[in-house]
Amino acid sequence: MSKGIRIEGLKKRYGTGDTAVDALKGVDMQVEPGEVVGLIGPSGSGKSTLLKCLGAVIDPTAGRMVLGNEVIYDNGWKVRDLRALRRDKIGFVFQAPYLIPFLDVTDNVALIPMLAHASNKEARSKALELLAALDVQHRAKAMPSQLSGGEQQRVAIARGLVNRPPVILADEPTAPLDSERAMGVIRILNEMARKFETAIIVVTHDEKIIPTFKRIYHIRDGVTHEEAGEGKGIE
């Protein structure tokens, strides 16, 4: 039984005709459950495009993607309900936190399990558990506008993890954080990966966290190359 994520020959073309951009030209990638891999490449190389395809936010043009035992894309989506796929299988962590301004910190996180039909009480307790793990439980009743940038980011990360998705896609998750907080985020991602057999892809330019990865995919002009990382882990 194969789990985790597998991507084979993935292509993405934006637009058509003279203005078409081939952002992904045949990407191969495999992430095992429990693994945190880095995705590194210059600006415009296709990192965000790859995460958006894998997260079913945009449609690829061709190729194949397998999530757990399920072929989700094979020259077309094989999943009927893409909204449910995004909600239940994929956790997103973006560079900009995108918190909902009129909900407090706890509700920003609890909203996610509620959308997946958890009870109010269950959703709040899951939210508080993740907020504690990310060291922001003392801000549980605050509104997003009252938080520092780093606190907002940690709340956004709690939101990405709260449903325990089998896959987490993180696009520059540590960019706004100081190095101690950045390492804290990497520690949480590694713990999540181990505990819940999550497959995690982290797009980053952050020199401090690159040495923590055991495996790194380099992407350039829409093509990936795998490479062993320093694999120092954390601490």
Q: In the complex, which residues of this chain contact Mg ion (CB under 5 A)?
A: 48
Smallest gap from residue 102 Cβ to ligand ATP (A): 29
Q: How far is the CB of 73 from Mg ion (least distance, A)?
A: 20
User: Would you give the distance in Å from CA 28 to the centre of its chain?
Assistant: 18
Residue holding tokens 């605050």?
142
Q: Contact between 15 and ligand ATP (CB under 6 A)? A: yes
Closest approach, Cβ 22 to Mg ion, in A, equals 16
For ligand ATP, the closer CB: 58 or 128: 58
14 binds, options Mg ion, ligand ATP, none, Cβ within 5 to 8 A by partner type: ligand ATP
Q: In whole angstroms, how close is the CB of 205 to ligand ATP at the nearest point?
A: 7
Of 78 and 220, which has the nearer Cβ to ligand ATP?
220
Measured CA to CA, the distance from residue 126 to residue 136 in angstroms comes to 14
Residues 24-53 that bind ligand ATP (CB under 6 A): 41, 43-49
Nearer to ligand ATP, 56 or 136 (CB): 56
Q: Which does 23 bind (CB under 5 to 8 A by kind): Mg ion, ligand ATP, none?
A: ligand ATP
Handedness of CA 80, 32, 232, 185 (dihedral sign): positive
Output 172 or 191, the one with its CB closest to Mg ion: 172
44 binding partner (options Mg ion, ligand ATP, none; Cβ < 5 to 8 Å by kind): ligand ATP
Choose the one of ligand ATP, Mg ion, none that binds residue 43, judging by a C-beta under 5 to 8 angstroms depending on kind.
Answer: ligand ATP
- Member of 5, 23, 110, 189 binding ligand ATP (CB under 6 A): 23
Instruction: Give the binding-site size for ligand ATP (rule: CB under 6 A).
Output: 12
Binds 45: which of ligand ATP, Mg ion, none (CB < 5-8 Å by kind): ligand ATP
Amino acid at 63: G
**41 is in the binding site of which of Mg ion, ligand ATP, none (Cβ under 5 to 8 A by kind)?**
ligand ATP
**SS3 sequence, the chain?**
CCCCEEEEEEEEEECCHHHCEEEEEEEEEEECCCCEEEEECCCCCCHHHHHHHHCCCCCCCEEEEEECCEEEEECCECCCCHHHHHHHHEEEECCCCCCCCCCCHHHHHHHHHHHCCCCHHHHHHHHHHHHHHCCCHHHCCCCHHHCCHHHHHHHHHHHHHCCCCCEEEEECCCCCCCHHHHHHHHHHHHHHHHHHCCEEEEECCCCCCHHHCCEEEEEECCEEEEEECCCCCCC
